[in-house]
Amino acid sequence: MTIPESGCYMDNETSCLPCTPEEEKRVVDELTKEAESNLKEGNLYYVLSNRWYMDWLRYTGQDTGDNMFGHFIGPLSCNGVDSKTPIRRPGQIDNSHLLLDGSDVDGIDLDMHRTLEERRDYVLVPQEIWKKFHDWYKGGPALPRKLISHGVAHKSYSVEVYPLSLKLTDSRDDKKYIIRISKKESVRALYNKVCSLLDLDPEKVGIWDNFNGRKHKLLTVSDEDLEEACLQIDQDILLEVQSEGFHSSRSGMDSTGNELALVAVDPPSTSTSIAGGPAVSNSNGYSSGFGYNIIKGNGLNLPFTTADDGNDILSSVKKCGGGGLAGLQNLGNTCFMNSALQCLIHTPPLVEYFLQDYTEEINKQNPLGLHGELAIAFGELLRKIWSSGRAPIAPRAFKGKLARFAPQFSGYNQHDSQELLAFLLDGLHEDLNRVKKKPYIQAKDANGRPDWKVANECWQNHKARNDSVIVDVCQGQYKSTLVCPSCSKISVTFDPFMYLSLPLPSTVTRSMTITILYGDGGALPMPFTVSVLKHGCVKDLIQALSDGPDGCCLKSDEKLLLAEVDDHHIHRYLDNPYEQLSSIKDDDHIVAYRVPKVPEKLTRLEIIFRSKQKCMSDISNGADSELLGTPLVSCFADGLLTGADIQPLAHKMLVPLMRTTSASPSNQVQTNAASGDAMELEEAFNGDSSPFHLWLTDEKGTSCHPIDNARVFEQGQTVRVLLEWSDRVRELYDVSYIENLPEVYKTTGYIAKKNKHEAVSLFSCLEAFLKEEPLGPDDMWYCPACKEHRQATKKLDLWRLPEILVFHLKRFSYSRYLKNKLDTFVNFPVRNLDISKYVMSKDDPPQSHVYELYAISNHYGGLGGGHYSAYAKLEGDKWYHFDDSHVSSVSEDEIKTSAAYVLFYRRVEKPVSVVGDASNI
């Protein structure tokens, strides 16, 4: 595609007449769309100062509020900027503050992997856009970066802003060098770069993975990329230059130049087993040693036995003790991974499973799995932790596998420990699935059959396709009931789960202030503050306002009509009882009108108030009207509404606003208001004695038309009239009652501080999870009876509980308007967590529903940054704090904190009697 250089020409190739802002925006938009449609590995992107880019957005009249720093720029929207306001054209591009030393364009000042993504003081632009920016503005320097791909089964792309920064030490003189190279380059390319830098003969060079200053393995020249070779950002590598006679096989080539098979530098795995004895191959082609002699030198003095005894490590660990106390080194923002891993690695059934020989269950053929590689990597890491004493372990091999199969966790950004946990459980299950060929099973509808029969059928169907140690110990089953709001069709399904994501009570309950107005003029407006479920719906709010302890005591023949008021007019009516309350923001103004409850549709009369400062011709010509106060709404239930009915109805609705002392005819009107005689009220304001005039208008009060007394309005119609608030009306009525409506929720320092330290129960979180609620607008259910997608109500019930029960506390909330982390303290039992009353099924044979805590994944800090750690219990009921490499003992009283994020429980057959534990939850 050729983009015309409209309005731009070169003068001696040193200057360029600027394009108009509109033309620049158009060119960039087109180039952006072209780049997005042609993503492929190797495409060049350029790092651009975000400071400069923000100036350019403002210059071209674009919104800068939602720009995501550190990401691709996408199609740009033009809004939010007043075109009449002149914005200066940006100066030259200045990327100098992004460089390490102001001159090295290969490096960007990340402070390496720790703080780089917190800064995000850059954007990424495709090469063609960079060329345009540079043509228009000059400056620089240019910082090109390549687009790389991640993953095996599912490809994703990212720009490698931060290449590997390897610290090379020359063993001949201990000189230090920094080698910057893409993690997608091969080991061969690393050799070539080092040899070129130091003018060395490749045949005489060996480069060692020298992580943490210790020689791990010699990097064999191959096409394996550096990420697969487990090289990490900012790590050490060691250069050894051999004297004459250094054999060429070191470089992976024989004397004829042919590539040799890669030979491992470590002792061959076929000579020793995972227990230190002879290895035994199996039908899967895996050695029981998994390629690692991980037991040597571990300090456990494990006996030399054959691999026929699959309990070697397990029995030795139980006998010798001391296992499981190794920390995991932080490889660069990998505390989230370390926290999740420590919790799984200290899950008793998984420890027993992976410390034995599980190779027969590795499923290499499963297309949903990871060819068994994730299970092997996890098993190797678990064995190391349970057999290495207390020496910290660098989980580099595991992270390499993780990045290969889950590209969302590649790189060195912080991630969510629960999201990683979900991936690991699913990935381990598929890698260890005993079902090699999954049968096709057609789901059947319940059709009124007993729940226990449908549940058993669903579970057997699930087990026919999914059978692994993860299913055995981690998967439960819940009942899901959907009800169609239109035809009341009920659908019941039974689905498996591996963890339960529980909303916190601070996200469960919400305080809302709603102003209630009387549609019949029966009383003054009155604000009511009620507590409702945050994830509830409009129906819940109406119920709380109607008959709740803090409600308005609604009469049996009345109902509430909710509306959102914005800029003195009704922005929308909340007619859908299943609309989620999350659509109402804290700074909204919500009102509820008390209206008659009748089966048929009511005709609404809506009065909008306007200050009498402009002539009526201004309104009719569409000029801005100066609205004030809050609209009043009445519903006409007696027959059809006519134009002649509007004036007396308006008088009646305004009665509560009458001043107690005022001039005639107000005294007469006040008396009439007290007696409630509508006929006398109408007579008081008959003819020209009425203090106000009414006109038909639109929803925003921007037009007006005379009211025809003979006009009949259709039933169910909303009739909007405009009432001019003249000086005479202000004398008679007190407008303050309908001005300055309270917000739905007003945060104060005292309340915020109080709520932060409120303790809530784990049981209340579980109850909120199980409560009936409507599906979201983006999660509609297809009703088989209506043949339409419906916003059905959904109810969950626990049916079958697993041996390992995992609770995820939803501390992080994201919405269009707010991103938040809740530090609410959740009071959870350590022992005797009895959830029998929440389980609907009757197990045969009976199962215990009492659980004991054994691990916690913690998150400290907020959204912008933070840190993960883990608590885990070992044999003897001793608790330990796993904080990356550091491991320390803690008391049981210390593990209950507001940082608890994911809780791991194990079923116990007999409750342990502990005073003051579950009883005070």
pLDDT of residue 909: 80
Tens digit of each residue's pLDDT (9 = 90 or more) over 347-395: 999 999 999 999 899 999 888 888 889 999 999 999 999 986 788 888 9
Residue 620 pLDDT grade (very low, low, confident, very high; cuts 50, 70, 90): very low
Tens digit of each residue's pLDDT (9 = 90 or more) over 664-683: 443 444 434 434 444 444 44
Number of H helices, E strands in the chain: 22, 40
| Strands in 508-626 per DSSP E | 509-518, 526-533, 558-566, 569-573, 589-596, 603-611
Residue 182 has pLDDT above 50, yes or no: yes
Task: Report the DSSP beta bridge partners of residue 721.
Answer: 607, 696
In our burial notation (b when 16+ CB lie closer than 10 A, e otherwise), range 665-675 reads ebeebbebbee
Tens digit of each residue's pLDDT (9 = 90 or more) over 33-61: 888 888 888 888 888 888 888 888 888 88
Spatial contact of 909 and 846, defined as CB atoms under 8 Å apart: no
List Cβ neighbours of 435 (8 Å cut-off, separation of 6 or more): 464, 465, 466, 467
Residue 423 has pLDDT above 80, yes or no: yes
Residue 707 pLDDT grade (very low, low, confident, very high; cuts 50, 70, 90): confident
Helices (H), 548-630: 616-620
Please give the residue that has the higher pLDDT: either 680 or 576.
576
Catalytic residues: 335, 867
Residue 260 has pLDDT above 50, yes or no: no
State pTM to two decimals. Answer: 0.59
Rounded to a whole number of angstroms, the distance between the first and last alpha carbons of the chain is 66
List Cβ neighbours of 372 (8 Å cut-off, separation of 6 or more): 284, 286, 362, 363, 364, 431
The secondary structure of 462-517 as a DSSP string is HHHH--SHHHHHH-EEEEEEEE-TTT--EEEEEEEES-EEEEPHHHHEEEEEEEEE
Residue 752 pLDDT grade (very low, low, confident, very high; cuts 50, 70, 90): very low
Residue 288 pLDDT grade (very low, low, confident, very high; cuts 50, 70, 90): very low
Instruction: Report the run of H or E that residue 568 belongs to, with start and end.
Output: none
CA-to-CA separations, 328 to 101, 232, 390, 839, 865, in angstroms, rounded? 33, 15, 10, 37, 20
Residue 319 pLDDT grade (very low, low, confident, very high; cuts 50, 70, 90): low
Residue 776 pLDDT grade (very low, low, confident, very high; cuts 50, 70, 90): confident
Q: What phi, psi does 300 have (nearest 5°)?
A: -90, -15
**Residue 219 to residue 251: CA distance in whole angstroms:** 9
Spatial contact of 294 and 387, defined as CB atoms under 8 Å apart: yes
Structure tokens at 26: 């158009």
Structure tokens at 354: 């992976």
Question: Mean pLDDT of all residues in the chain?
Answer: 76
**Residue 853 to residue 515: CA distance in whole angstroms:** 46
